[in-house]
Amino acid sequence: MFNIQNAVMVLTALAAFATIITLALPLLASDKLSTRMKYVSTEREAMRARAREALAQEKTRLRHTPKGFVKEVVDRFASGRMLENAEIRDKLRQAGFRGPGPIYTFIFFRFVMPPVLFVLTLLYLAFLNDFGLPPMARFAASCGAAFIGFYLPNVFVQNVIARRQDSIKKAFPDALDLLLICVESGMSIEAAFQKVAAEVGSQSVELAEELALTTAELSYLQERRMAYENLARRTGLPGVKAVATSLIQAERYGTPLGQALRVMAQENRDIRMAEAEKKAAGLPPKLTVPMIVFFLPVLFGVILGPAIIKTLAEL
């Protein structure tokens, strides 16, 4: 059992086995860092593809192409400065209308509405009902209708902007809380925006659309600052602008992103609560006129009714 030859054979076999293991281990070991980086790169490309696919869907299309007749009329009568007006573009973007199509439509109705309303008003006052007005008064009323028609597209766009901003304003504090949770859990800002956009859609479709668009811009723009500034410009809300500024500063100076989001979430919740308290404080003046019109006559009837009936019975 303790033969020298057997011991040498066993030691030689162990040495050979150890040599093979030593040479084979570096070949069998996987590079975890390169694998993780490859996975992150693949996931990033998949996120970009999903964001672009969502933006390209017909159901949730963000950009509109101009129509043929509308485009021909605007190109013939409108100037290039009107089509390139930055103020009109910003208003339409705040209303959720993007691309060249809404710009052509807006300018088309600005050209068409004044003469249409002028002719309709003039025909109505001339053939249906003149309200006893002289010809010059009827012409002046038609000119007033044309003046109103010029501003009707602006009124429509402002109403759409107000409804859209109200929806974003109500859901934005909750979206910031979700964004804070995602960031503190270790997610990147692109993945956090995409996750929040998917979750907040049940509460505000408009905010989900803006966050999804910001996710796409964070993927392909050269600087994140541009994506945050575009988000603030598209919404036009002071709370969103403050959050965008905080994100830009955190990106530039390297400050903790979670702390900035926590502070901004609390500020937006305070703003939402202050607006709710303002609406509640404005209810008493609004209820004064209905109470005077509907409650006081009934109250006087209940109080004075028996006395009046008794007085009439005695007479």
- The mean pLDDT value for 156-174 works out to 89
Helix axes 135-184, 238-253, angle to 10 degrees: 40
User: For the whole prediction, is pTM greater than 0.85?
Assistant: no
> Which range has the worst mean pLDDT, 16-30, 71-85, 113-127, 283-297?
71-85
The domain ranges of the chain are 68-274
* Separation of alpha carbons 182 and 173, rounded Å: 14
Render pLDDT for 85-132 as a digit per residue (tens, 0 to 9). 678 888 888 888 877 778 878 888 888 888 888 888 888 888 877 777
> Which range has the worst mean pLDDT, 10-14, 75-79, 118-122, 128-132?
75-79
Q: What integer pLDDT is reported at residue 159 of this predicted model? A: 92
Identify the residue with better confidence: 292 or 75. 292
Render pLDDT for 173-231 as a digit per residue (tens, 0 to 9). 888 888 888 888 888 888 888 888 888 888 888 888 888 888 888 888 888 888 888 88
Q: Is the pLDDT of residue 304 over 50?
A: yes
First-to-last C-alpha distance (Å) of the chain: 143
* Separation of alpha carbons 66 and 272, rounded Å: 38
Q: What integer pLDDT is reported at residue 216 of this predicted model? A: 86
* Alpha carbon distances (Å) from 3 to 6, 13, 124, 132, 207: 5, 16, 125, 135, 83
